[in-house]
Amino acid sequence: MTNKKTFLFLISSLFFICSCGTYRINNTSDFKKNANLDSMKGKYFSKPFLLRNNYNQDFFSLLNKNSVKSDFFNLEFIDNNNLKISYDEIVENKFVSKEIILNGKRKRKFFEVYFSKKQFFIPFLYGNFDIDRLRIGFDKSGKILIRNFSDGSGNILFIGGGFSGESKYLFESVEKSSTLIPFSKNGKWGFKKKDDIIIEPIYDFVRTFDENYARVCIDNKWGLIDNKGNKLSEIIYDNIVPIVSDNDDYLKYSFVYLNGKTGIINSTGKITIPVIYDVIKNNGEFLEIKIGDKIGLCNYEKVIIPSIYIRLSSYIYHQYNYAEAERDNIIYYVDKQGYEYQTNLNPYYSKIGFLENGQPKYIPNLASKRKIDVEEQPK
């Protein structure tokens, strides 16, 4: 009987551990012990410190406010159970003051708030969980530490699915930062380091520095400057939006917008993708570029496949590394070096009903290889 009870206990424990994220032991060791949470009052950058390692989420996205544009946020406790977050949202190149009140519970090392906490659980039979929780405190270096726990999992018997996980984010105090901070004087904006003016207030509006450049605005037009105030680009664009990526290209490139068209500029102010495209969007390994109904591909540095195709797939064709492309009702292959190939039907391809035998339908005619000229794009 004892062995049977032990067995049932172990199975139950395993079930709880595997099926319900809220029963997991969450990491709290990197929160500062015995911290005075009232001292969180202050102003912080909304971009996480060491952003590359933090899934590129800013502070407001952790509050499920993905559309908020603000470079800073302020924290202040109203009482033990309510944390006020105030910020100046950027709306049409102006500041609009707003605030959010988080209702939660103050713990010994952090303030805890749930955005959702739904769980339905029948032992051994069924579980359904919807958990979204933040814990806000200090790390050991004094930065604001946020741990975001999400659980959208479920199970029927021992078959489970969904997702769960916990991520860590650090936010730096503006007061303690050594970077350049925007400031205003007589309605104009510049940059300070501590109390020293580094870049004179000559701009109508500015954004915080992204690595080694900042976006500045004059007469509703945007450009880039370096940390000495030198112009990296002309101030002519309708908007500039840094491209946040998980790789080494992090914040080295930005989308630029002018007269309804889109291009890409690098952190030195060089236009790498001309501002002629109606759409530039992610297409897996590359970016998709469109002029009218014509599609091509680029990376951040150059156009790979000019926008001349009515249809263009991803690079999915086995060892060939080709993408299928269509123009003038003819199927071509294009490769990652920007060459086009005529195609022939693959004699080994077959299809029965909805099933294929794993072979591509077409094979490239290597003798037809030609470099696609960017001048072939629509004007």
306, 167: one domain: no
Domain holding 329, by residue range, is 302-379
- Tell me the pLDDT tens digit for each residue of 203-223: 999 999 987 899 999 999 999
The chain-wide mean pLDDT, for the chain, equals 87
Based on the domain organization, do 167 and 20 belong to the same domain? yes
User: Is residue 365 one of the residues assigned to a domain?
Assistant: yes
Question: Is 210 a member of any domain?
Answer: no
Residue 191 lies in a domain: no
List beta partners, residue 247.
none
Look at residue 249 in the predicted model and tell me its pLDDT.
65
- Give the CATH number for residue 134: 2.40.128
Q: CA-to-CA distance for 229 and 80, rounded, in angstroms? A: 44
Residue 60 phi/psi, 5-degree rounding, is: -70, -30
Q: State the total domains in the chain.
A: 2
The end-to-end CA distance of the chain, in Å, is 83
pLDDT digits (tens, 9 = 90+) for 6-55: 544 444 544 444 444 444 447 788 999 888 999 999 999 998 876 554 44
State residue 261's pLDDT score: 98
308 in the same domain as 165:
no
Q: Is the model's pLDDT at 57 over the cut of 90?
A: no
The answer to which of 8-17, 167-176, 228-237 has the lowest mean pLDDT is 8-17
- Residue at 26 is within a domain: yes
Rounded to whole angstroms, the Cα distance separating 264 from 261 reads 11
| Contact between 240 and 253 (Cβ < 8 Å) | no
The answer to whether residue 265 sits within a structural domain is no
Q: Is residue 68 part of a domain?
A: yes
Determine the pLDDT at residue 126: 81
Asked if pLDDT for residue 320 goes beyond 70, the answer is no
Q: How many CB atoms lie within 10 A of CB 251?
A: 19
